[in-house]
Chain A
Amino acid sequence: MKQPSNARRTLRIVVVTTVPGDIADEAVLAAQARRNTALRIGLLESGYDIVASLPADIFLPERIAQIQPDMIIIDSESDARDVLEHIVIATRDEPRPIVLFTDDGTPSSMDAAIEAGVSAYIVAGLHAERVKPVLDVALMRFRREQKLLDELSDTRRQLADRKLIERAKGVLMARNKLTEEEAYQRLRSMAMNKKLRLAEVAQRILDVEDLLG
């Protein structure tokens, strides 16, 4: 297949593996090991680079912070899903796609999972040639949603900033008998002198106002 001209750098993929002995049920563990092998073969045959295969232990968050992968893949039945959830919440300002792999690949459950925030499902036994499109779609979808979320949070932040600035102006006007324009200029020069954002200066003024009553 022809490579697109603007080929992006290789995806950095981390596969999280279950620590043997965690799960008492040997059948579950064996099924996970089988899925894991199939997945790795699928990834390698599709030309993906697995930067690390990490055990789902207490050091996982630190290792992921060091490696900064583009995508994390984990077995849907692993008890380490909750460790990953910790990472998802702790780094929710810089989210990355999480892909689950599973035996159960009914399309409805995949769609619902994706609605719920999982980026994609890889079904065990998926042929190698299918792994790549699934991951590509997952990544594309993730990036598009991030862009929307970023725009939304930018708008929210601007609104919140504006509210803070308005309130701080009110405080300055009342305390120092300033006009609105004078209060705004005062805020601006404080921000420039202290090399802070206008909203940060406003917050400080409001904090002081809170303290002094």
Chain B
Amino acid sequence: MAHAFVAGSDRPEKAVIRAGFMPLTDCASLVMASVLGLDEKYGIKLELTRQHSWSGMRDRLLQGEIDVAHVLYGLLYGVENGIGGAATRMAVLMNLSRNGQSITLSRALARQGVTNLAQLAAAMRKGTRRYTFAHTFPTGNHAMFLYYWLAAGGIDPLRDAQVVTVPPSQMAVNLAAGHMDGFCAGEPWSTRTVLDGCGFTAATSQDIWPDHPGKALGALGAFVDANPHACRSLIAAVLEAGRWLDESSEHRDVAAEVLSSPAYVHGDRHAIAARLHGEYENGLGRRWLDPDPVRFFDEGEASFPYVSDAMWFMTQHRRWGLLRDDVDYAAIAARVNRVGLYREAAVLAGVPAPSSLMRRSVLMDGKVWDGSVPDTYISSFPIRRQAMVGA
């Protein structure tokens, strides 16, 4: 496929692509694709709009007010399967990031000697009070990682704890006020609570699942069907931006500067830069250079829309009763994740693409996920929402 997609019959159907993003560090590749003008290189123009909530982002996608979104992987599959609303055919164009989220616990817990999962589980087993944990969206990545982490420690998140959704900007104030014990969210919000002194990083998301998928570049299935050339150009542009981000720490410094502006993340440049570089400080005096920090490219590995990654979110939706019935996990993921279009874009941008649709991952509890037998995988978890008669 040596011919240029941009000209002739492969010309993008749409010159302007409206993209929604949330003010989070991992919107970097989408934002930089626009800032560096990589979109125009592929014959499109990105029009970025900042969103205030995941629900609002979802509604705008469904209404066609935005064309594509920097969005929680789990949320897209929640919409695809009609969890909490009408089912709508969605599409994943690519994975935007890996790693770089965190579980933060309150400093009050640390003062009582709770600094890790085992100690948290022991404290909760005493049953002297109710523990509350927050995530950012009921079907989202942070909810699934939080539940996974707690359950790996023997805590049933739905029975032994109270779980709430809290906007990331309210996490620190609620932790400081003692309204909750911990939360799972993205950056720069986790760093912010560490810097504010009200929380400490108890686990990174890469501790839970090394190289886990993060935000997806999502769209309506119908939009991708109607605009394949524009979508291919968009993927290529964002792939280039991801490559640029992972290329050097100077580039990430530039990105941190850009993201810190009020138009994007609106936060402290240094707070954004540190974890972008993998420089961690847990808030209890431990500092380290993380070998698996947030990644946007990783030689094309981080951006590939693995079918097994998508299936994992559905297995967790089923595990926690969000999905009420088994679905054809593999078939849905293969339809939603537009691997074919991605591969064409990868050729366009000169990016290597893995040959397999599935990958093998070992999560924190030693369990292997390779996309092969989802039903067995779901029932292998001792802690899960049990099927109920008539439910």
Contact = CB atoms under 8 A, between A and B. Distances in A.
Given A109-B65, A112-B62, A22 B55 contact: no
A88 B52 CA distance: 18
A78 B53 contact: yes
A25 B84 contact: no
A166 B53 CA distance: 46
Nearest to B267: A24
A92 interface: yes
A210 to B, nearest CB: 10
Contacts of A19: 170
Interface string A149-173: 0000000010011001000000000
Interface stretch (B136-144, B236-244, B337-345, B361-369): B136-144
B375 interface: no
Interface in B84-126: 84-86, 88
A90 interface: yes
B59 A199 contact: no
A89 B82 CA distance: 11
Contacts of A21: 173
Question: Which range contains the number of A residues in contact with the other chain?
Answer: 35 or more
Given A24-B262, A59-B179, A85-B138, 4 more contacts: A81-B53, A83-B166, A113-B62, A160-B390
B52 A81 contact: yes
Contact of B390 (A90, A115, A161): A161
B169 A24 contact: yes
B184 to A, nearest CB: 14
A86 B170 contact: no
B41 to A, nearest CB: 31
B85 to A, nearest CB: 4
Contacts of A78: 52-53
A92 B169 contact: no
B172 to A, nearest CB: 11
Nearest to B143: A86
B167 A89 contact: no
A13 interface: no
A38 interface: no
B313 interface: no
20 contacts: A19-B170, A22-B167, A24-B169, A24-B262, A25-B262, A58-B132, A58-B164, A77-B52, A79-B170, A81-B53, A81-B54, A82-B167, A83-B167, A85-B55, A85-B165, A109-B65, A112-B63, A115-B86, A116-B62, A157-B390
Contacts of B4: none
Given A24-B262, A89-B322, A117-B85, A80 B164 contact: no
B266 A80 contact: no
B158 to A, nearest CB: 10
A163 to B, nearest CB: 12
Interface string A58-95: 11010000000000000011111111111011101000
A24 B165 contact: no
Nearest to B165: A86
Contacts of B86: 115-117
A76 B166 contact: no
Contacts of B262: 24-25
A200 interface: yes
Contact of A200 (B52, B137, B389): B389
B389 A164 contact: yes
Contacts of A82: 53-55, 136-137, 165, 167
Contacts of B180: 58
Interface residues of B, number: 37
Interface string B59-90: 10011110000000000000000011110100
Contacts of B164: 58, 61, 83, 86
A38 B58 CA distance: 26
A76 B56 contact: yes
A79 B169 contact: yes
A137 interface: no
B174 interface: yes
A25 B139 contact: no
B55 A199 contact: no
A116 B85 contact: yes
B378 interface: no
Interface string A4-29: 00000000000000010111110010
A153 B89 CA distance: 22
B333 interface: no
B134 interface: yes
A129 interface: no
B84 A58 contact: no
B188 to A, nearest CB: 12
Nearest to A21: B173
Nearest to B140: A82
A58 B322 CA distance: 21
A113 B165 contact: no
B166 A58 contact: yes
A21 B177 CA distance: 15
A197 B56 CA distance: 42
Nearest to A80: B167
Contacts of B137: 82, 85-86
A92 B78 CA distance: 14
A158 B63 CA distance: 35
A180 interface: no
A203 interface: yes
B351 to A, nearest CB: 33
Contact of A89 (B52, B59, B139, B173): B139
